Amino acid sequence: MTPFISEMLGTCLLILLGNGVVANVVLNKTYGNSGGWIVITFGWAIAVFVGVYVTAAASGAHLNPAISISLAFKTGEWSMVTVYIAGQMLGAMLGSTLVWLHYRLHYNDSEDANLKMATFCTSPAIKNNLQNLFNELLGTFVLVLGVLFLSQPQNTLGSLDALPVALLVLGIGLSLGGTTGYAINPARDLGPRIMHAILPIKGKRDSNWSYSWIPIVGPIAGGLLAVLLFNILQ
């Protein structure tokens, strides 16, 4: 499996299971309706575990442009960054489309356009661009710093290496995710946002493009700052 296919498949699974749990919780007449934030954060953690486990051997399981850019910044090797990000974006778009197809009847039966959009992309609980940017920066800073330490040879768990990353994302979601929905991944937010704009979703709202730059800039900046701190600590 090539790195491009690996990243596309892994990100597709990440979004299918991650946005899938959001759809299960917020859309009408699902068995998971009103399951709450705990269900969503656990669902996203499992989504990360599956995505990383499937793709770790083939591509290193970046599944996130902020990870790819941060690792390139750390190593100085930029040649594959475009390939990785292209795979991640296409995978995110495909995964979100599959969520819509899977829950199509429930989208049709739901009236809240904001909740429908939430099954694709993130929005702030309280809109404040500077604060929201900091929230995404901090969440991704924790993610990338954690990944850098978890990837150290002395910290390996062999075939279970995907588990610490999933637990890290679970912790970020439970502790820091309540402000912006913890995108912490530009592809995870932008790819589905594009599909929200394109797909014929019944009763949808606009895709909130005025906010869309924050889940891109914040995670990339947070990842780069994490690399700088990691390098200082080594």
Angle subtended at Cα 160 by Cα 175 and Cα 78, rounded to the nearest 5 degrees: 80
CB 59 within 8 A of CB 84: yes
Taking CA atoms, 140 is separated from 67, 103, 147, 207, 215, in Å, by 9, 29, 10, 23, 10
Nearest of 73, 19, 15 to residue 220 by alpha carbon: 73
Taking CA atoms, 108 is separated from 87, 103, 204, 206, 210, in Å, by 30, 9, 10, 17, 26
Q: Is the dihedral of CA 94, 115, 144, 175 positive or negative?
A: negative
Scanning 27-124, the segments in alpha helix (DSSP H) are: 37-59, 65-75, 81-102, 104-109, 113-118
**What domain count does the chain have?**
1
Query: What 8-state DSSP symbol labels residue 61?
Result: -
pLDDT tens for each residue of the chain, 234 residues long:
999 999 999 999 999 999 999 999 999 999 999 999 999 999 999 999 999 999 999 999 999 999 999 999 999 999 999 999 999 999 999 999 999 999 999 999 999 999 999 999 999 999 999 999 999 999 999 999 999 998 776 656 555 678 999 999 999 999 999 999 999 999 999 999 999 999 999 999 999 999 999 999 999 999 999 999 999 998
Task: Report the CATH number that the domain containing residue 117 is assigned in CATH.
Answer: 1.20.1080.10
Range of the domain at 30: 3-233
Q: Is the dihedral of CA 138, 99, 195, 34 positive or negative?
A: negative
Whole-structure pTM over 0.75, yes or no?
yes
